[in-house]
Structure 1
Amino acid sequence: MSGNTARRPLRADALRNYERILAAAQGAFAAHGASASLEEIARQAGVGSATLHRHFPSRRSLLEVVFHDRVEALCAKAQERAEENEPGAALFSWLGDLNAYAAASRGLVASLLHDGRDTDLLQQNDSCKTMITTAADELLRRARQAGAVRPGVHTEDLLTLVSAISLATEHPDDEQAGRLLDIAIHGIRLHQHQRAATNRETPARFSE
């Protein structure tokens, strides 16, 4: 459950309903945008409309938690990747997670921009952006120390790359986004012959 707002502890059955509503809302907002039917979300969650509104009094309150919870899950995934993989593999795998997150969020963001309602959610999510940047910073730092990425790669470069891929593949299928990310990762990765050259001499333009 999101820590975005202080809530009283929920009973087990209420917590199950809360999580079901969130899961249904995430899918509905991704597929149909911010105007997705709250009644349909309740139906998919297996609860009544009154239960949905008891947990989320307004559409906006539900949108806020969906945004924040998905970012929390993405950043938790970064920690999992770091614990389960070598530094380079952890970074590259998480970039795939970020790519999937960007694709799933695209419809919701486009919908907010299109209908003009609640667009301030996009500006108010600085904390979400900070969470993503912090997670990427740590993965990149570890990968850089392990010699897994080429010199001169910065966190903002990686985030911009994933954002650009998401924008470029707005209509094609998700497989193209994956292929483009693979191409980008090949360029980011420090290959064996490059590592040898870097060990001999680090170009001044890449010095920190």
Structure 2
Amino acid sequence: MGDDHSAARPLRADARRNRERVLQIAQEALASDGLTISFDEIARRAGFGVGTVYRHFPTKEALFEAVLLGRIERFVADARALATAEDAGRAFFGWFARVVEQAAANQALCDMLDGGSQAGPQVGLRPGSTLADDFGAALGRLLARAQRAGAVRADLTGRDVHDLLRGCLTAERRSLARGGAVRMAEVFCDGMRARTY
């Protein structure tokens, strides 16, 4: 019986590697092709049969949501890691700019950060979800520390900053589409800075 149990471990490890490979390929496909890419194409790029993809993700929406939620979880982890940074202002503005930079190149990720307005009801950072709460709390901690340090305007709330993030993503995507040279995150960050005069 012990031999059967130990023989199953490599299969579980293989299945885990297969799932990670599908997620990696889906992430690349979402960034380049958006939500229109098919399961068949993701499976082909990953080097698997389509059944392997379906075993891990029963619907395309489930796959895309797993990819996008993983990205947002990394944004939350980054914000948490910066919560004790020595320079609270630099931590806040740097995190904001990195989220914009990484998300602006991916329409599906922008849609998720915007609550799923374009991606449909099944994909979105839904208000009241654990991840939405985690994102808001992590952003709020960075904001509060930056405000206490005098780096960010005192009248901004976490919701204000999340709305600014959404607006910045739209502006950044439009700027990129027309070949604009101005990084919109810098403009938005300048607007959030505390005035010293």
State the TM-score bracket (shorter-chain normalisation).
0.7 to 0.9
Contact preservation (8 Å) 1:169, 1:177? no
Q: Secondary structure at the match of 1:47?
A: coil
- After TM superposition, the structure 1 = structure 2 runs for residues 129-208 of structure 1, keeping only pairs within 5 Å, are 129-173=132-176, 176=180, 179-190=183-194, 194=196
**Which deviations, in whole Å up to 9, do the C-alpha atoms of 1:104-159 show, x marking residues without a partner?**
4424639x867xxx711246733243232111101111112222222212212222
Using the alignment, how far apart are the partners of 1:54 and 1:129 within structure 2?
27
What pairs up with 1:37-52 in 2 under 5 angstroms?
A: 37-52=38-53
* Higher mean displacement: 101-110 or 78-87: 101-110
Cα separation, 1, equivalents of 2:181 and 2:20: 29
Extract unaligned runs of 5+ from structure 2: 1-8
Q: How many positions carry a matched residue from both structures?
A: 181
Whole-Å Cα distance in 2 between the matches of residues 14 and 178 of structure 1? 44
Q: Secondary structure at the match of 1:162?
A: helix
Contact 1:32 1:107 in 2 (8 A): no
Give the Å deviation of 1:62. 0.9
Q: Is the 8 A contact 2:89 2:149 kept in 1?
A: yes
Tell me the residue number matched to 1:55.
56
Name the counterpart of 1:80.
Answer: 81
1:9-29 CA-to-partner distances (Å, cap 9, x unmatched) read 982222111111111112212
Aligned counterparts of 1:24 and 1:177: Cα–Cα separation in 2: 30
Divergent runs of 4+, >6 A: none
Report how far residue 74 of structure 1 moved.
Answer: 1.3
Please tell me whether residue 103 in structure 1 is matched to residue 82 in structure 2: no
1:178 and 1:48 mapped to 2: Cα distance? 43
Query: Alpha carbon RMSD of aligned pairs, Å?
Result: 3.0
Matches within 5 A, 1:122-133: 122=123, 125-126=126-127, 127=129, 128-133=131-136
* 3-state SS in 2 of match to 1:190: coil
Could you tell me how far apart the structure 1 residues matched to 2:182 and 2:15 are? 38
Q: Give the Cα separation in 2 of the matches to 1:113 and 1:158.
A: 18
TM-score (norm 1): 0.73
Q: Which runs of 5+ in 1 are unaligned?
A: 1-8, 198-208
The verdict on how the C-alpha distance between 1:62 and 1:189 changes in structure 2, with shifts beyond 3 A counting, is same
Whole-Å separation in 1 of the counterparts to 2:181 and 2:157: 21
Tell me by how many angstroms 1:102 deviates.
3.5
TM normalised by structure 2 equals 0.76
Match in the other structure for 2:28: 27
